[in-house]
Amino acid sequence: MLKNRFSLLCLAVASSLTLTACDVVDAAYDETLNDNAPEIVIAGGFKIDIQGNAVPVEGYDNCSLNTLQGSVDTDKSNCIVLDRTRKKVPVLVHLSSGPVKEEWKIEHQVEKPNPAKISSKLV
């Protein structure tokens, strides 16, 4: 009987330590991912699909060396920069009827790995 109680006590302590460790890992993952979120740069003239039509878009930000489309001229300021600090970005959409200025909302969503898959690697 004493052995069963000791086993239950050990199991309870081990379970609480495991759950606490998961919370710590989860919080560290959130913080690291938010600090290291990549900056996405879309070059001016990039075409998006609007109702089946390829429509070029451009922004008002300075272009960096590397964009989703490859290297661009850094002297240009027609790129769309999506980084973790922005909540919205102005964009010029070149529709066939003429250019339209839009404001795109940026939503940051972090996908976390399944803790059940990584927990065995942590121990």
Of residues 83, 105, 88, 82, the one with CA closest to residue 35: 83
Band (pLDDT 50/70/90 cuts) for residue 2 is: very low
Q: What is the pLDDT of residues 98-120, one digit of tens each?
A: 999 999 999 877 777 666 665 55
Q: Tokens at residue 122, please? A: 């942590």
Question: Coil, helix or strand for 15?
Answer: helix
Q: Tokens at residue 65, please? A: 């060396």
The whole-number pLDDT of residue 65 equals 66
Asked whether 110 and 33 are in contact (CB, 8 A), the reply is: yes
pLDDT at 24 over 60: no
DSSP of 74-89, one letter per residue?
A: TT---BEEE-TT-SEE
The whole-number pLDDT of residue 122 equals 47
pLDDT at 5 over 90: no
Residue range 67-80: mean pLDDT, rounded:
72
The whole-number pLDDT of residue 93 equals 97
The whole-number pLDDT of residue 27 equals 57
